[in-house]
Amino acid sequence: MNKIINHPDHMISEMLDGYLAMYGDQFEKIPNPNGKCNGMIRKDRRDKVSVVVGGGGGNEPWIIGYVGKGLADGAALGPVYTAPPARAILNVTKEVPHEKGVVYIAANHTGDVLNFELVSELAELEGIRTECVFVTDDITSAPIEHQEERRGVAGISMVVKIAGAAAEAGLELDEVVRIARKACANTYTFSVTTSPGYMPGSGKAMFEMPEGEIEYGMGFNGENGVLHTPLTSADEIADTLMKYLLDDIRPAEGDELAVFVNGFGFTSKLELCILSRRVHEILCEKGAAIHDMFTDELFCPQGTGGLSISIVRLDEELKKYYDAPAYAPFFKKMKMGDLRWETR
Tell me which residues in 285-324 interact with its own copies (CB under 8 A). 293-295, 297, 300, 302-303, 305, 307, 324
Q: Min. distance of Cβ 252 from its own copies in angstroms? A: 23
If the CB atoms of residues 138 and 297 are measured against its own copies, the closer one turns out to be: 297
260: three-class secondary structure by DSSP: strand
Q: How far apart (Å, rounded) are the C-alpha atoms in residues 21 and 19?
A: 5
Number of residues that bind its own copies (CB under 8 A): 81
Among 54, 56, 65, 84, binds its own copies (CB under 8 A): 65
> Edge to edge, what strands does the sheet with 256-263 contain?
227-230, 213-216, 187-195, 305-314, 256-263, 289-296
Among 202, 221, 229, 233, binds its own copies (CB under 8 A): 233
Q: How far apart (Å, rounded) are the C-alpha atoms in residues 113 and 254?
A: 35
52: three-class secondary structure by DSSP: strand
If the CB atoms of residues 69 and 94 are measured against its own copies, the closer one turns out to be: 69
Using CB under 8 A, which residues numbered 117 to 156 contact its own copies? Answer: none
If the CB atoms of residues 44 and 223 are measured against its own copies, the closer one turns out to be: 44
Among 168, 190, 312, 318, binds its own copies (CB under 8 A): 168
Q: Min. distance of Cβ 126 from its own copies in angstroms? A: 30
Q: How far apart (Å, rounded) are the C-alpha atoms in residues 197 and 303?
A: 5
* Closest CA relative to residue 237, chosen from 269, 270, 272, 268: 272
Sequence-distant (≥ 6) Cβ neighbours of residue 257 within 8 angstroms: 251, 283, 288, 289, 290, 291, 311, 312, 313, 314
Strands 256-263 and 289-296 come out as parallel
If the CB atoms of residues 47 and 145 are measured against its own copies, the closer one turns out to be: 47
Binding mask 73-112 for its own copies (x = CB under 8 A): ----------------------------------------
Q: Min. distance of Cβ 39 from its own copies in angstroms? A: 16
Q: Compute the chain's Rg from CA coordinates.
A: 19
Using CB under 8 A, which residues numbered 256 to 285 contact its own copies? Answer: 265-278, 280-281
Q: How far apart (Å, rounded) are the C-alpha atoms in residues 297 and 303?
A: 12
Among 18, 126, 144, 247, binds its own copies (CB under 8 A): 18
If the CB atoms of residues 129 and 319 are measured against its own copies, the closer one turns out to be: 319
If the CB atoms of residues 27 and 134 are measured against its own copies, the closer one turns out to be: 27
Give CA 310 to chain center in angstroms: 10
**CA angle 217-138-264, nearest 5°?**
60
Among 122, 142, 169, 205, binds its own copies (CB under 8 A): 169
Under the binding rule (CB under 8 A), the answer on residue 11 touching its own copies is yes
